[in-house]
Structure 1
């Protein structure tokens, strides 16, 4: 095993995942270069809503992902403090709970099913009447019939997060090559030994693939595809925000930011890398938001954008060594920001020591092989 202080690592991708892994590796003595095809932090990480929703997004049959998500949520306060100290940039972590609301009888029954699942997994959630929900958020529609408040969920400003990660990585001594096209993985003697880029070869002892929805272009065996999401932001008075909690409806979520933006998202579309906003997408988001929060009618639209989530076949990330010298950290789908701290910690440990934490066992690429079926 190469000693940490002389271990060289090249990372493909400078989103939240790649930057966080790089930062953790440099902190532990590795020599790290991150190569990014565009501007760092301006892919899916920039387009995200920054929700930390390990509770609200609990789904049946996702036991392994639930435990990984909950570990990440527990890690977030210490991670945010360390990142703030290292970068001087506050990523505005807020763990003040989220509300999942119901406006119809069918939606109430879906909330009841969610509450049963929360109780089974040990998620702290409180059942609220419509009046109880409006006590927390007075601007909610009178039609809100019930809600679940998930106490431990929250949000972080993902755009500040990637700025902080970039600053922390560079301050720790990492090297960042932006606007550099990555052509291929560099292989020699049955081992991945770096990257072929538009600026030449970048050789290293270990290579980490963290290019999100674009990962399969470099490693076609990865079952990762882009899942298009349209989002928009409305303007609020920061001193008198329309909402204080993240609010989930059946078809949209609303995320209030400290700077006065109210994010409304997001569509889920199998549309490849199409980056166009559509009338139907915007209309659907605004209608769902308006049904929950009628006061948005007068709010200005201040931004609209499209992001591409990296989705795997089972909506869970692919984490671990897939070839000698090559580690993958991709396919995080809707949980990339939430999983940033734990992914960085587990992948850094794997790269440095060769030892895989037991938490990684459920996220190997091997789970998609015919033998695993």
Structure 2
């Protein structure tokens, strides 16, 4: 396994539980799991994410993207149960609420709720919003449009997930190598028909299967082998806000509140994460962060007046000319599971399940 974000580490854990001998390679494996305090340098992968799980509120009802989301939402409760440990607690936080920004969007949400009531979706009017049941609710814009409540969507803390996976990988005796893979070499008889991986430490390692989960760095490993999978960086900024509001106003705040595509996540008694922007390139824009904070004119006064106490930005890998994610068996023993764009944490269980199926199918074909 190359890459130790949620997808890479989660897939390594899943494969080890299936009985495979797994080696996970990533230069970050000897670093503490935390967000950098620097606002200048981008945070890559899972660490930069908010861990939002939007599986059941996905607008499409067919196709690969829908199937992957549904498979992940089916598997996540099982994963959380198995990964949760007193030393590395992990939980699935629910529910998720989407606010409608217009009457038309409200109608679409009502239709979706009727189609997926069995998945825990229900629409609501302004008078019945789950977070406005207190005597002193937080004021919110456009209350006449209502929204959509998803009982089973929500979020998983990405840092807690990484810590839980790291502990479980060690329990499963996965070999962890803190290094960067610089080049891949196809199998040959001299290597025992195994792939040879060159590391930046000057050492080599060998394996029968290579699973690439390195986001933007994936293309660099694949190009010398003749595989072209270009990806572009899409930057996302997150603001950590301190808000002034009565304590009881937070009593019914959901795990995730979504307004105009922006996630608002409460943490602590008076803190809120607001994210994330969608910016091309690798340099954050102060203007984009300001636009996000206004929520396209829908932000209430208390949100606009909140103090920014911290912020960070990260880079997502979006495939160029192909739908995300990239899940392909490129040649015998070489599997690509990367380019998840904004859904790395969400699709981790489904991706791990898919990789396991590909390896099992290959093993069956090769068996005498």
TM-score, structure 2 as length reference? 0.81
Structure 2 residue matching 1:38: 3-state secondary structure: helix
Give the match for residue 95 of structure 2. 97
Give runs of aligned pairs for residues 49-88 of structure 1, distance below 5 A. Answer: 49-56=50-57, 58-60=58-60, 63-85=63-85, 88=87
Q: Distance in 2 between matches of 1:77 and 1:196?
A: 37
**1:142-173 residue CA offsets vs partner (Å, 9 max, x unmatched):** 53222111222111101110111111112211
Asked whether the 8 Å contact 1:184–1:195 carries over to 2, the reply is yes
**1:87-122 residue CA offsets vs partner (Å, 9 max, x unmatched):** 83122311x32111134xxx2212322443554566
Give the match for residue 45 of structure 1. 46
State the Cα distance separating 1:264 from its structure 2 match: 0.9
Structure 1 residue matching 2:16: 3-state secondary structure: helix
Give the match for residue 128 of structure 1. 124
**Backbone CA RMSD of aligned residues:** 2.9
Q: 1:329 aligns with which of 324, 332, 337?
A: 337
**1:45-74 residue CA offsets vs partner (Å, 9 max, x unmatched):** 011111111123x23486321121012112
For the pair 1:171 / 2:166, whether they are aligned, the reply is no
Q: 1:254 aligns with which of 255, 264, 275?
A: 264
State the Cα distance separating 1:256 from its structure 2 match: 2.1
Give the match for residue 361 of structure 1. none
Give the direction of change, closer, same or farther, for the CA distance of 1:239–1:227 in structure 2 (3 Å limit). Answer: same
Asked whether the 8 Å contact 2:141–2:300 carries over to 1, the reply is no
Structure 1 residue matching 2:294: 3-state secondary structure: helix
Asked whether the 8 Å contact 1:311–1:333 carries over to 2, the reply is yes
Asked whether the 8 Å contact 1:97–1:151 carries over to 2, the reply is yes
**1:164-223 residue CA offsets vs partner (Å, 9 max, x unmatched):** 111111221112122x22212222349870322112222111111010222112124124
Asked whether the 8 Å contact 1:192–1:326 carries over to 2, the reply is no
Give the direction of change, closer, same or farther, for the CA distance of 1:34–1:245 in structure 2 (3 Å limit). Answer: closer
Give the direction of change, closer, same or farther, for the CA distance of 1:139–1:203 in structure 2 (3 Å limit). Answer: same
Asked whether the 8 Å contact 2:47–2:158 carries over to 1, the reply is yes
Q: 2:222 aligns with which of 208, 219, 235?
A: 219
Asked whether the 8 Å contact 1:17–1:210 carries over to 2, the reply is yes
Q: Distance in 1 between matches of 2:275 and 2:17?
A: 35
Give the direction of change, closer, same or farther, for the CA distance of 1:310–1:260 in structure 2 (3 Å limit). Answer: farther
* Bigger Cα displacement from structure 2, 330-339 vs 190-199: 190-199
Structure 1 residue matching 2:236: 3-state secondary structure: strand
Asked whether the 8 Å contact 1:55–1:118 carries over to 2, the reply is no
TM-score, structure 1 as length reference? 0.80
